Amino acid sequence: MEVKLIEFSPHGDERGQLIALEELKEIPFNIRRVYYMYKTVPDAVRGKHAHRSLQQVLICTSGSCKVRLDDGKEKREVLLDKPWQGLYISNVLWREMYDFSPDAVLMVLASDYYDEADYIRNYDDFLSFVKEQTGEENGQ
């Protein structure tokens, strides 16, 4: 499972803190798209999909949320609650974001522009795609 927490370097003084992020430096890919979620209603689960090729870094800039990751064989849960920490998620990983605190702002940096064809929105289709990618369907 290609996932890792990235620690960013805060720069601050008596006025507060600042985090600077640059593509191919702190972020391990070219940034093509940025979006964020906020005012997420209680008990909401976001995501519930995988990507064929897209890579992402998730940063909870305020509050907290949890991320459930699944590569078809292994499952992992990550708590995001530090604005100086990002979660790198490679492609072909099912992701679900949930348990958002009322003040949560989850920012996502993506390696490419929005492309609906890159999404796998059905879990069974995701499992089939993983098997195809690993050659398990052909008995390899």
Q: Among 49, 52, 66, 82, which one carries the catalytic annotation? A: 49
Kindly write down the DSSP assignment for every residue of the chain, as one continuous string. --EEEEE---EEETTEEE----BTTTBSS---EEEEEESPPTT--EEEEEESS--EEEEEEES-EEEEEE-SS-EEEEEE--TTEEEEE-SS-EEEEE---TT-EEEEEESS---GGGEE-SHHHHHHHHHHHHTGGGT-
Find residue 86's DSSP bridge partners: 6
**51 carries an active-site annotation:** no
Tokens of 114: 């929005």
Catalytic residues: 49
